[in-house]
């Protein structure tokens, strides 16, 4: 997962606006950050490991003048060279230079790479992102056409901000798997500028208004004459990743017309209807389970309460507890409230991936004296990996892929366990079933995917050198 | 405000335990951190600016062997030299060397300094903490007596962990203004060790059990023979800072027998009873207002919801927005949910100090379309400064010190504004009125305080050099 | 002043080789460092403030695969945004993308900028380097021709390594003002690769053999087929900066056929012949005056000795001495030996710019008891500024520009002062007079220069935005 | 090896003076640095890994007020916890607290530790320094007597600055193995203050005058009443480490009445007389061999020249060359001048320890075309380890310990090899033979030393915990 942002403005300090927008998108990636600017055709890119506030300082922002900026925050990756994977990535092609920030994941990278290689265009080892940039950079067609032609060769998920020919470009795969919002920023002089962002919460932070989403299959090109839209690919069945609603997006963002927070509350409400519990308190796993717990409480009438207090400073400590601390169950991240003692609890979270964290939390609550711990999950069991950019786990690591709900309950040690039904989840989004990707719950992918559902096999190996 | 911790253990890696305990107390101070250890009489101290995880690494922890450790986290201070104020502070006296971490604030530092100066003992410029250490370090009496004699000369608030004569010492002013908990840590070999901590959440993190609080006026000395307690000062009227319950302590800590989270929920319940509102939603200012908002919702039956989403990455960014961003009302810390539009809202926070943040949040909610914004504060108006270690503001900066509630309502621009009554707050704590300090609400201080209630006048000036 | 390096190799880890070569060129610039690589057409650039060893680590080097690398070290600049000035600079033009590292300074940047602006190509604010890159990047001619055409529009000094069309390019202004060496690196498999470097000392460090210098006006393009040379500009009168021999180059480098160390020794020998002194010891100002002092000693028969010991750790301390230390003449950088007491000294340095340092050193030696201090300078008086990349000072700051030698002697407080004659300096280089630039000594510039010899006036102002 | 400094001054910013003095002593230790101050009895210590300029900044210096300061720079140590070994070390004893910086090495640490342990005083794992501090800190005698009594129990080398009872203390082992100078610093108001420093070059940098050396066996205590001297141990045979003169001390320091630079020049002169060579040039290994090479040149009449250019930026690069670079003989630190080609060279260095570096340099010179390489060493063969603080190597690693001079010549591959004789070296110092320690050349130690001359066996093991 990643966050992307783009702005075209002759009036504004575009790098500074991008900095603040990335700040709002920090939850979509904490490993690295970068900004690329175009200053009347001159491209400058600055990217490095770390949080947005660690990568940039005043001097560096001031070294990024221009009238177009794109920015990117990247989720932690394992194995591959992390610095090499920082974005925006720049590719210099025969036709143009392209700087590009990608949110998503291609499923046919090898095919694209092979096709490019036939044309003598060799790519780096680790990135599907570069394949996209290369297609555009080497195509002598005018920019919108070059993007459109590239899109015909890509499969998978891509919501992209790019910078080419001095213009800001945004485009989204024909299924619209990852979000991409279009906004307008009013300037001091009364004029307006266009911005693009992964989530509307970034528009809010910088004071931009939300215009609409970039449509699946649409290319928008923004230059000094304004916005130019091309429907590059027929807008087929949309397949917005429903996991954005379930977990990934910030609750104050609006996706496909629905504010995420409200969707999550409704998920909790439906969960309460589908899987009620006799209990004294409803408690979230903070912060991911909070809105659904609120909804569960509203619908069930069982009082809402915080129950596990999260340590806000958990993060980059590399000190390891010793054996004694480990045996005593060191509570680095969560601590249960004493008031859970003797209570029958409903614990709400958005999903269970491997199950180990939930097992620990359930144990912790029983140790704190809870009488019963009823776990309610505001989405269905995850049974299949994501090939579109969410690094959940391989199928074999997904606890629910090979377990019944009762087996899952045993695994986590809860008094009872219930998941929200597929229909319940869908209903909470108020989106038509045909408009979302639910493959991690259903194994029905909107695009071709590898026969072997093993993410490790999808990882791009370095080319032999 | 600060956090303190102490451990005596022949079995454990005491510095490592202190590291993790300080991690749980990080909310009590982010400016600096330090640990002092005694290794069979040998004292080593390491303190520096930054978060606990920034100050210590593996090599440094391993350079801190010993059987006693004390630790300290310090709140941000302004003006004075920050490095000089890092703790634990060490004072070498005629009788012994004392390492000491202090939570609180003396009100008669000048008197103590003058008395020490008469004995030829000159203190540094900026710290009341050193006066305490000096009194103990220069007193040839046995340690418990030396501490007791020191306490007779101190006025104000002090909850202290110290390390002297190879022993761990904890003591608390006769009013018990700041908290200090005593815990037991079970060891792999079955034995037990004593620990001291500002809050019980630190005991929880390291797997220690809560034994009791150090009593007001009590001195505990912990050595290889166990715990030795002396009631050094008659246990007078206790005056636990009620603001710990209102705001400062972590909700999962237990103070004076009550878990903080529950107290805050009850404050919200009473607030709903005292100052009901016709409204559609109850929302907290996160995270400080969350438990009281939950309580308000329970008591009023108005649905609870999150309404302002907090950016978890706000912190050390030094990049400033430009004028255009500022005019557009950049939303670095909070963003309102769209679902507030058209709604009548109850907004709950624990307190209002200067009023400027609340004014911004109320404006933000109205801009987001809220129909009404009823502000409810789960404590009474703050009218007088704290001389006991909470750096609120001077009296003139306290918005409510010179304003009626109606004037406060105008200041923040709310539809209505109500505070919890003194009685309501007291009742929520379930503590006798006589057992808490409520001076910031009542101007009735448990100790002598300066006639001029101007904190700036209290700041210790450097001695002429 | 700056250092540049380039390598084309299918066999080697080109970024690693560039790293070590830049290490040898660190004396030519300590402010920033950068490396750009081309990996089968893919360009990656990493540049940042700091020494070479501070900018790069293993992970970053490994993120720079490729078969061509160029590198750059930059001298400290004042005023302008330092990060923006880091190199290699990348310019994406209509015809190609060019990454480029520049040693030297143009004298007609404004003309080139204006001409580019007429073609709609707008440059950044602070850099003549970008003008060069832009000319090549926008010219649709084949690469060698594009470089050649760019060179016809440039005036001033430029020794350049560039990376374009996946090839390594080196070129040098028609006067060959700044050095640029061509070398061959033998590979483990027996093959050979071409490298380019500002100085031969970089070839030595990486084990490359020196082939020849890039000729004034020559363009070399290096690709998988080897080296292609074009004499782009008629090889006119060469004008190698004689100050490279006097001061700037490392003594173990060979310039225009002469090893710098030997040239400096001969300067000292001639100085002894031209301006003998009755003295007991000959001493250098280390390290710049050492070879000439050795030469002076050899020719005069006066024993050579060190006399001022240099603190090797002087550098980035930002602690200021207080007044008391200042009054006592704190000796941060140099300390005289006691053995100078009572002696008649000859002190040799390569040049005097402002005169203040030499004044301090002469005073220091007299305070240490020197009987006489005869200053001998192994080059003539500097009377005019350099427009070709050595940031000496403006004409008004050049102490000798408006002073006689006797006035200079008074200024520095020496017993006697003599400079090497123009002929002596020239003779020491064993180069024909017509082959060097000596403008800082003669005011005779090999190219057009601004009428007002004020460097501040030459600084490029940011374009109005 | 280490550097120490101390100052007592009511008038000066003592930490700042210490900072600059440590800057002059940086060559005696680059691993860590620290300063301790006493402010009217209050002790503050700041020590950390890194160079002096890295450990301290303005805020930290300003947090170190006081009227006494001591400082320490520490040489790189291996194995043990480096942070734990930073100094000044503080020991809090029954009688007083002592902060102490140590230059030297005890040879009876285990005995002292055992004796202390019998008194119930347990020391840390790695340091002989603490044993010294503990003896003083636990002795109830007046300070000068406590120091004197401690000295009676110590064997080995110790030149120490300490801070106890608010006073500055300096003392030196009865053989005076390591240097310690006493100086006077004139203040703005006309008064004077005493300072102590490992070398006189530190006095020079801060503008202090050299008064005399602290005598072997002497204790000086400096307080507001001035200097108090006690001859604590009978001034026996002095045994100043002659290796300070050979290599370690800065050339601008004066030791035992002789300026080091002059001693080294005379060593070179005598070497020329003892071991002449038919040669064209005399060249040093910079910087350690420079003065002796100057002397050799003077005495032999063979012209002096630099021949190997040292890269001044060698230091903390952690990037490793790859195999290809290694095979090509990467020249990170030294590069030979081309002018050595065809020449018969005399190469002068101060000593040979393991022989591997000299072997590389000789090979490098032959590869550069040298006709003959005559190596001359300005001290005798090192045959026995140092137990007094110079971490040369174990006896088995000392190349000359088990090799004849001819075998050494073969090892390093030189045309000829000669060492200065013991008499020659002694004569150059102009000190009586009986006044120096030459044990590394003669195996005659001035104190008892372990039978097994294996330094690894001397390393202090951590006490069982």
Convert the pLDDT of each residue in A385-429 to its tens digit.
999 988 776 778 899 999 999 999 999 999 999 999 999 999 999
- Other CB atoms within a 10 A radius of the CB of residue A332 amount to 15
Q: Which of chain D's residues have a Cβ under 8 Å away from the Cβ of C185?
A: 328
Q: What is the pTM of this model?
A: 0.89
Chain C CB within 8 Å of residue D325 CB: yes
Secondary structure of chain B as H, E, C letters:
CEEEEEEECCCCCHHHHHHHHHHHCHHHCCCEEEEEEEECCEEEEEEEECCHHHHCCHHHHHCCCCCEEEEEEECCCCCCCCHHHCCCEEEECCCCEEEEEEEEEECCHHHHHHHHHHCCCCCCCCCCHHHHHHHHHCCCCCHHHHHHHHHHHCCEEEEEEEEECCEEEEEECCCCCCCCEEEEEECCCCCEEEEEECCHHHHHHHCCEEEEECCCCEEEEEECCEEEEEECCCCCCCCEEHHHHHHHCCCCCEECCEEHHHHHHHHHHHHHHHCCCCCCEEEECCCCCHHHHHHHHHHHCCCECCCEEECCCCCCCCCCCCHHHHHCCCCCCEEECHHHCCCEEEEEECCCCCCHHHHHHHHHHHHCCCCEEEEEECCCCCCCCCCCCCCCCCHHHCHHHHCCHHHHHHHHCCCEEEECCHHHHHHHHCCCHHHEECHHHHCCCCCCCCCCCCHHHHCCCCCCC
> Residue D81: which of B63, B83, B92 has the nearest Cβ?
B63
The chain D residue lying nearest B88, using CA atoms, is: D44
In D350-369, the residues whose Cβ lies within 8 Å of chain C are none
The chain B residue lying nearest D12, using CA atoms, is: B465
Q: How confident is the model at residue A155 (pLDDT cuts 50, 70, 90)?
A: very high
| Residues C42, A82: C-beta atoms closer than 8 Å | no
Closest C-alpha among B197, B147, B146, B139 to residue B174: B147
pLDDT at D79: 56
Q: Which of chain B's residues have a Cβ under 8 Å away from the Cβ of D42?
A: 91-92, 122-124, 130
Closest C-alpha among A60, A80, A82 to residue A71: A60
- Other CB atoms within a 10 A radius of the CB of residue D39 amount to 22
Q: Say how many CB pairs under 8 Å bridge A and C.
A: 61
pLDDT, mean over chain A: 92
pLDDT at B350: 97
| Residues A297, B318: C-beta atoms closer than 8 Å | no
Q: How confident is the model at residue C88 (pLDDT cuts 50, 70, 90)?
A: very high
| Residues D306, C290: C-beta atoms closer than 8 Å | yes
How far is B162 from B171, CA to CA, in rounded Å? 9
pLDDT at D454: 52
Query: Which of D195, D325, D368 is the best substitution to test chain C (most C C-beta atoms within 10 A)?
Result: D325
Mean pLDDT of B301-306: 95
Residue B461 pLDDT greater than 60, yes or no = no
Those chains having 3 or more beta-carbon pairs within 8 angstroms of chain C are A, D
Contact (Cβ atoms closer than 8 angstroms) between residue D269 and residue D298? yes
At D48, give phi and psi (nearest 5°): -160, 170
Chain C CB within 8 Å of residue D316 CB: yes
The sign one gets for the Cα dihedral A388, A390, A395, A401 is negative
Residue A463 pLDDT greater than 50, yes or no = no
Closest C-alpha among D237, D246, D152 to residue D446: D237
Mean pLDDT of B300-310: 95
Query: Which of B252, B262, B296, B343 is the best substitution to test chain A (most A C-beta atoms within 10 A)?
Result: B252
| CA distances from residue B193 to A391, B6, B10 in whole angstroms, order as listed | 43, 11, 8
Closest C-alpha among D170, D257, D194 to residue D436: D257
Closest C-alpha among D182, D148, D142 to residue D165: D142
Phi-psi region of C226 (alpha: psi -120 to 50; beta: other; left: phi over 0): left
In 3-state terms, what secondary structure has residue A168? strand
pLDDT at A193: 96
How far is A67 from A41, CA to CA, in rounded Å? 9
How far is D182 from B234, CA to CA, in rounded Å? 56
pLDDT at D452: 62
Chain C CB within 8 Å of residue D189 CB: no
Contact (Cβ atoms closer than 8 angstroms) between residue C352 and residue D51? no
Q: Which of chain A's residues have a Cβ under 8 Å away from the Cβ of B186?
A: 328
> Residue D43: which of B60, B90, B123 has the nearest Cβ?
B90
Name residues whose C-beta falls within 8 Å of residue C150's C-beta, 6 or more positions apart in sequence: C132, C135, C136, C139
Mean pLDDT of C171-187: 96
CA distance D162 to chain B (A): 15
**A286-323 tens-digit pLDDT:** 999 999 999 999 999 999 999 999 998 887 677 888 88
Assigned token pair, A329? 């169950």
CA distance B20 to chain D (A): 20
pLDDT at C461: 36
| Residues A62, C82: C-beta atoms closer than 8 Å | no
> Residue C63: which of A40, A63, A83 has the nearest Cβ?
A83
**B98-154 tens-digit pLDDT:** 999 999 999 999 899 999 999 888 887 667 899 999 999 999 999 999 999 999 999
User: Position of tokens 């002659």?
Assistant: D242
Q: What is the DSSP letter of B157?
A: E
User: Position of tokens 């002694």?
Assistant: D426
The chain C residue lying nearest A12, using CA atoms, is: C465
D–A contact: 3+ Cβ pairs < 8 A? no
CA distance A165 to chain C (A): 9
Contact (Cβ atoms closer than 8 angstroms) between residue C92 and residue C61? no
| CA distances from residue A41 to A166, C123, D225 in whole angstroms, order as listed | 5, 8, 74
Mean pLDDT of C400-425: 97
**B400-436 tens-digit pLDDT:** 999 999 999 999 999 999 999 999 999 999 999 889 9
Residue A198 pLDDT greater than 80, yes or no = yes
Highest mean pLDDT among A241-255, B39-53, D389-403: A241-255
Mean pLDDT of A64-70: 96
Q: Which range among A67-81, A156-170, A243-257, C163-177 shows the weakest confidence by mean pLDDT?
A: A67-81
Burial class (CB in 10 A: 0-12, 13-18, 19+), D412: buried
Chain A CB within 8 Å of residue C31 CB: no
CA distance C73 to chain D (A): 13
Those chains having 3 or more beta-carbon pairs within 8 angstroms of chain D are B, C
| Residues B305, A53: C-beta atoms closer than 8 Å | no
Residue B157 pLDDT greater than 70, yes or no = yes
pLDDT, mean over chain B: 92
Q: What would the DSSP string read from start to end of C35-80?
A: EEEEETTEEEEEEEES-HHHH--HHHHHT---SEEEEEEE----SS
Chain D CB within 8 Å of residue B143 CB: no
Q: In this prediction, what percent of chain C has a pLDDT beyond 70?
A: 95
Q: Which of chain C's residues have a Cβ under 8 Å away from the Cβ of D254?
A: 338
- Other CB atoms within a 10 A radius of the CB of residue B259 amount to 20
Mean pLDDT of A72-83: 79
Q: Which range among A141-155, B132-146, C81-95 shows the weakest confidence by mean pLDDT?
A: C81-95
Mean pLDDT of B335-364: 96
Contact (Cβ atoms closer than 8 angstroms) between residue B104 and residue B77? no
D–B contact: 3+ Cβ pairs < 8 A? yes
Chain C CB within 8 Å of residue D60 CB: no
pLDDT at B141: 96
**A158-184 tens-digit pLDDT:** 999 999 999 999 999 999 999 999 999
Q: Say how many CB pairs under 8 Å bridge A and B.
A: 192
Name residues whose C-beta falls within 8 Å of residue B404's C-beta, 6 or more positions apart in sequence: none
pLDDT at D292: 98
In 3-state terms, what secondary structure has residue D93? coil
> Pairing state of beta strands A372-377 and A344-349?
parallel
pLDDT at C450: 73
Chain A CB within 8 Å of residue B297 CB: yes
Mean pLDDT of B45-53: 93
The chain D residue lying nearest B462, using CA atoms, is: D65
Q: Which of chain D's residues have a Cβ under 8 Å away from the Cβ of B82?
A: 59
Chain B CB within 8 Å of residue D89 CB: no
CA distance B282 to chain D (A): 47
Q: In A236-375, which residue ranges form alpha helices assigned H by DSSP?
A: 242-243, 260-274, 290-300, 323-327, 356-367
The chain D residue lying nearest B11, using CA atoms, is: D465
Q: How confident is the model at residue B213 (pLDDT cuts 50, 70, 90)?
A: very high
- Other CB atoms within a 10 A radius of the CB of residue D403 amount to 16
Q: Low-confidence residues of chain D, pLDDT below 50?
A: 456-465
User: Position of tokens 């990454």?
Assistant: C99
Name residues whose C-beta falls within 8 Å of residue B320's C-beta, 6 or more positions apart in sequence: none
Chain A CB within 8 Å of residue C117 CB: no
The chain B residue lying nearest A332, using CA atoms, is: B205
Assigned token pair, B367? 């801009």
| Residues C42, A123: C-beta atoms closer than 8 Å | yes
Q: Which range among B151-160, B322-331, D273-282 shows the weakest confidence by mean pLDDT?
A: B322-331
Q: Within 13 Å of residue D272, how many CA atoms lie on the same side as its CB?
A: 26
Contact (Cβ atoms closer than 8 angstroms) between residue A128 and residue A109? yes
Q: Say how many CB pairs under 8 Å bridge C and D.
A: 193
> Residue C325: which of D17, D298, D303 has the nearest Cβ?
D17
Chain C CB within 8 Å of residue A65 CB: yes
C–A contact: 3+ Cβ pairs < 8 A? yes
CA distance C391 to chain A (A): 22
pLDDT at C318: 76
pLDDT at B240: 96
Residue C78 pLDDT greater than 60, yes or no = no
Chain A CB within 8 Å of residue C59 CB: yes
């Amino acid at each position: 997962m990643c966050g992307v942002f783009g702005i075209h403005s002759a009036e504004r300090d575009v790098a500074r606006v991008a900095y603040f927008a990335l700040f709002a998108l920090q939850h979509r990636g904490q490993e690295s950050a970068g900004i690329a600017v175009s200053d009347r055709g001159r491209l400058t890119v600055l990217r490095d490991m770390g949080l947005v506030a660690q990568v940039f300082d005043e001097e560096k922002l001031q070294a990024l003048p221009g009238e177009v900026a794109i920015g990117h925050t990247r989720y932690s990756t394992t194995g591959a060279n992390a610095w090499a994977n920082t974005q925006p990535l720049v590719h210099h092609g025969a036709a143009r230079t392209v700087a590009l920030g990608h949110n998503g994941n291609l499923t046919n990278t090898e095919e694209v790479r092979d096709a490019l290689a036939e044309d003598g265009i060799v790519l780096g080892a680790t990135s599907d992102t570069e394949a996209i940039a290369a297609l555009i950079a080497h195509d002598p067609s005018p920019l919108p056409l070059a993007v459109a032609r590239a899109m015909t060769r890509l499969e998978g998920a891509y919501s992209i901000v790019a910078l080419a020919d001095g213009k800001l470009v945004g485009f989204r795969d024909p299924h619209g798997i990852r979000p991409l919002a279009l906004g307008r920023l009013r300037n001091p002089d009364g004029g307006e500028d266009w911005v693009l962002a992964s989530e509307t919460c970034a528009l809010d932070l910088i004071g931009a208004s939300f215009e609409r989403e970039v449509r699946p299959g649409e290319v928008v090109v923004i230059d000094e004459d304004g916005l130019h839209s091309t429907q590059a690919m027929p807008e087929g069945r949309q397949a917005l990743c429903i996991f954005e609603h379930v977990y990934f997006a910030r609750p104050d963002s609006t996706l496909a017309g629905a504010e995420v927070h409200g969707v999550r509350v409704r998920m909790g409400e439906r969960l309460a209807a589908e899987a009620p519990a006799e209990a004294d308190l409803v408690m979230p796993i903070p912060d991911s389970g909070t809105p659904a717990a609120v909804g569960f409480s509203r619908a069930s009438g069982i009082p809402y309460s915080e129950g596990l207090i999260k340590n806000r400073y958990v993060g980059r400590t590399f000190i390891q507890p010793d054996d004694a601390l480990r045996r005593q169950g060191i509570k680095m991240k969560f601590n249960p409230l004493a008031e859970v003692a003797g209570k029958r609890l409903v614990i709400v979270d958005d999903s269970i991936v491997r199950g180990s964290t939930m097992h620990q939390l359930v144990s912790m609550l029983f140790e704190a004296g809870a009488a019963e711990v009823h776990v309610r999950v505001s989405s269905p069991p995850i049974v299949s990996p994501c090939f579109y950019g969410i690094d959940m786990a391989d199928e074999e690591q997904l606890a629910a892929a090979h377990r019944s709900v009762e087996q899952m309950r045993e695994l986590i040690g809860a008094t009872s366990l219930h998941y929200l039904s597929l229909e319940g989840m869908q209903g909470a989004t108020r989106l038509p079933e045909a408009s979302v990707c639910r493959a991690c719950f259903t194994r029905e992918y909107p695009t071709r995917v590898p026969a072997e559902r093993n993410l490790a096999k999808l990882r791009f190996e370095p080319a032999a050198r």
